[in-house]
Amino acid sequence: MNSWSGTIRGQPCSKGNSYHIVTLGKPPHPAIVKSKEALAYVRSALLQIPRGARMRLTGPVRVTIRVFYATERPDLDVSLILDCLQDQWSRTKPRNPIVPSQRVLVQPGVFCNDRQVRELHLYHGVDRVNPRSEILVEALTAQQTGLALPDPTDLATELLGG
């Protein structure tokens, strides 16, 4: 299976407008975090992606998304949706301060990383009753094969004029 289509219910927020600065830790330091609305959407979206869809495609992919917002107001921004479709990682807290933290896969995605998206088709719609995102992810086949090196004997024959 090299494709997945599904629907995520709810209205995604614009990722660019959904961050704010908070103070964390000891000693206190500023950090940038997602808004409550963005975090709620991510939690909801991750629960709506079926286990069978989490195939972790590794090559280039084409993504088609039809976003139906509740109103005309939101910007067409699907970066939060793409984040939800990729692998979800977390950092472990080391028990020993000398040992560095490690990344742990929390939930596999439809694809491993949103950098794999080579083709993206977006459509904006309005559905006041049922805001949602209809998504199609398809694996792409390589469009250009590697350039083959010439056979050295053919090259020598060509250079010698034979």
Residue 32 — very low, low, confident or very high, per pLDDT cuts 50/70/90?
Answer: confident
> What stretch of H or E contains 48?
helix 36-48
Residues 38-78 pLDDT 10s: 999 999 999 999 999 999 999 999 999 999 999 999 989 99
For residues 2 and 95, give the distance between their C-alpha atoms in angstroms, rounded to a whole number.
Answer: 40
> 112: which residues sit within 8 A by CB, 6+ positions away?
56, 57, 58, 86, 87
DSSP reduced 3-state for 102: coil
**CA pair distance 85, 61, nearest whole angstrom:** 12
Architecture (CATH level 2) of domain 3-142: 2-Layer Sandwich (3.30)
Map residue 18 onto helix, strand or coil: coil
pTM (predicted TM-score) = 0.78
